[in-house]
Amino acid sequence: MPGYPFSTIAALRLAIVLLAMLAFMRFMPRAHAAAGYRIFVSNERDGAVAVIDGSTLEVVQSIEAGKRPRGLKLSPDGATLYVATSGSPRMGPGVDRERAKSLVADKSADGIAIIDLAAGERVRQLKVGSDPEELAVSRDGKYVIVANEDIAEASIWEIGTGRLIVKARVTEEPEGVALHPTRDEVYITCEEDGDIYVLDANTGEPIANFRLGGRPRTVAFSPDGARAYIPLETKSEIAIVDARTHRLLETVTVPPPALPMGSAVSPDGRELYVTTGRGNSVVVLDTESKQIVATIPVGTRPWGIALNPSGTRLYTANGASDDVSVIDIKARRELARVKVGAGPWGVAIGPLPTQAAAR
């Protein structure tokens, strides 16, 4: 470079190198954030939780959980996984009650498996009453709120001591348990009569109760907590509820053969994703227009559903094809299917072990 002293040339070269390094460093955290998570899948028929690396989409571990693992939730710090297990026999909806009573249940298997994710193993079984199906973890990480399916109860338990805080009577077949994002309230869905109970998440005291019918399965809240979205399986509808007044606002019909089940809301609250069971797809609801804007084919009988931290990928547990579908939200298409085990039921997303340990 004629006309420039050596020191100036060296300084320019150093500046170019530094700018390149800064650009690289700006890119790297985004790539790490997109890939730095794991997908946990409860496999109901083989008693284990499969762990998928979010970057490679490979199953990196299988952790024994106990009999019939279904609902699963992470602790607030991401270090512990709680999994509902049950010794009750697997039965489809509408099974004759007298026949059901004749089936032998292993009540010793009922509980919440507590899995230390750093150790990669179950460290304890928390007894939480009969036949827990779904659960929520309190915001402070001290309590679990449980749907006890076969005895029509919801219950709250202290994790550290195993102490029962309270039991609340609900109607038959409670399943979904969803903690409100901004208030200490929990929604419980009851399948048989289509009831929704709203309870105080600390005391179990009733706040509201309303009936939707149609076998409500799960609840997903808008990020601001203003709306609750509740799939109604046998009505093939999605109920939209005012979560401040706990009143039904309207319903959206999901085209057949969909049977709406699992639900998740996008981080910006603009879209709702719902698995359709025998419909073998995920439907996308625009929450502003209240229109179904996409139907994405996935594996067979998808149930559990979860979004990655950035909201760009969606994962469904496909109970009859024994795999997990990986969906590109923007492209509206399935990218891959990952074989995970027998009867995948629930899905949860958590940090990598080093990230969880650092929190």
Q: What is the pLDDT of residue 327?
A: 98
What value, to the nearest 5°, has the Cα angle with vertex 317 and ends 312 and 319? 160
Tokens linked to 48:
């284990």
The stretches in the chain having pLDDT less than 70 are 1-35, 91-103, 354-359
Give the single-character DSSP code of 89.
P
Q: What is the pLDDT of residue 151?
A: 96
Query: CA–CA separation, 241 vs 228, rounded Å?
Result: 5
The separation between CA 101 and the C-alpha centre of its own chain, rounded to angstroms, equals: 30
Furthest CA-CA distance within the chain: 97
pTM of the shown model: 0.87
3-state SS class at 246: coil
Q: What is the pLDDT of residue 326?
A: 98
Say if domain 67-92+104-211 classifies as CATH 3.40.50.300: no
Q: What is the pLDDT of residue 1?
A: 46
Q: What is the pLDDT of residue 76?
A: 96
Q: What is the pLDDT of residue 14?
A: 52
| 291-340 per-position pLDDT tens digit | 999 999 999 999 999 999 999 999 999 999 999 999 999 999 999 999 99
Q: What is the pLDDT of residue 22?
A: 43
Long-range contacts of 235-238, Cβ-Cβ distance < 8 Å, separation of 24 or more: 236/260, 238/263, 238/272, 238/274, 238/285
Q: What is the pLDDT of residue 353?
A: 81
Q: What is the pLDDT of residue 31?
A: 37
Average pLDDT of the chain, as a whole number: 90
> Which sequence spans correspond to the domains of the chain?
67-92+104-211
